[in-house]
Amino acid sequence: MVDHSIKGKTVLIAGGAKNLGGLIARDLAAHGAKAIAIHYNSAATEADARATVAAVQAAGAAAAAFRADMTTAGAVETLFADAVAAFGRPDIAINTVGKVLKKPIVETTEAEYDAMSAINSKSAFFFIREAGRHLNDGGKICTLVTSLLGAFTPFYASYAGMKAPVEHFTRAAAKEFGDRGISVTAIGPGPMDTPFFYGQETPEAQAYHKTAAALSKLSKTGLTDIEDIVPYIRFMVSDGWWMTGQTILVNGGYTTK
């Protein structure tokens, strides 16, 4: 029987330096992961990546940080190759990379469109591709998307629109990798209490979002608390091994203004 626990597993986390990715790394280490490769994007997040590496090592797992520009296929190839060279073939690959833009369609520039496409869609495709090439049989792939995929809302066309293809990538990869026992899933949180959210929202919009969800009054800030997302991801890469080709929306179904 295949072991579906976290114990002894090797993990690669894209965007694993801080915020949700950093918390996932710490959580999986605490649950017995053997080694965790931490991806970070730039010099601006290198210190966060080193801090996460230290926390993972303190929890008893091996860890190392790897810098890569996820918007190029070659860089994603190198990221996986470096992780394999350091720790062997991964059992779990988690992609938390993304960029949000809140802007009307008529004001969105071609450069902004291209950047959103590269970060939110292209990077996800090639991450899944390289995971399919490098993961051990019975492995797990999980991508962060957004609950906006289930919403009917303005101003996020280039963000949600570029996350939307990841749902199809997930279903297609689930079919293609399924005969190797690889589960492919995506999770779409609502607005999270991270700089990722606050950077695009006015104070008025922030106040609205903190009361918009039915469960807002039960969270610390009214937004989705990242520590509440971590168990879902842990489930999908361990006990949730049977789930594949699925996108799970968490704290979704809200409207926005």
> Residue ranges per domain, the chain?
10-196+227-249
Contact in structure between 163 and 187 (CB atoms under 8 Å):
no
pLDDT of 229: 87
List, in order, residues 6 or more apart from 182 with CB less than 8 Å away: 132, 135, 137, 138, 139, 140, 141, 173, 244
d(CA 48, CA 232): 23
pLDDT of 241: 57
Question: By CB neighbour count within 10 A (0-12 exposed, 13-18 middle, 19+ buried), where does 172 fall?
Answer: middle
**Domain 10-196+227-249 class, CATH top level:** alpha beta
The dihedral region occupied by 155, where left means phi > 0, alpha psi between -120 and 50, and beta the remainder, is left
Res. 253: pLDDT tops 50: no
Tokens of 127: 């991450």
pLDDT of 225: 78
| For helices 226-236 and 19-30, angle between their N-to-C axes, nearest 10 degrees | 50
- Write out pLDDT tens, residues 93-133: 999 999 999 999 999 999 999 999 999 999 999 999 999 99
Contact in structure between 147 and 187 (CB atoms under 8 Å):
no
The pTM (predicted TM-score) of the whole model is 0.90
Res. 213: pLDDT tops 70: no
Confidence of residue 203 (pLDDT cuts 50, 70, 90): confident
Cα angle, residue 107 at apex, residues 102 and 111 outer, rounded to 5°: 85
Of 50, 115, 57, 123, the C-alpha closest to 93 is 123
Q: How many C-beta atoms lie closer than 10 Å to residue 227's C-beta?
A: 13
Confidence of residue 179 (pLDDT cuts 50, 70, 90): very high
Average pLDDT of the chain is 88
Tokens of 257: 């203004």
Q: What are phi and psi of 141, to 5 degrees?
A: -125, 130
- Write out pLDDT tens, residues 27-76: 999 999 999 999 999 999 999 999 999 999 999 999 999 999 999 999 99
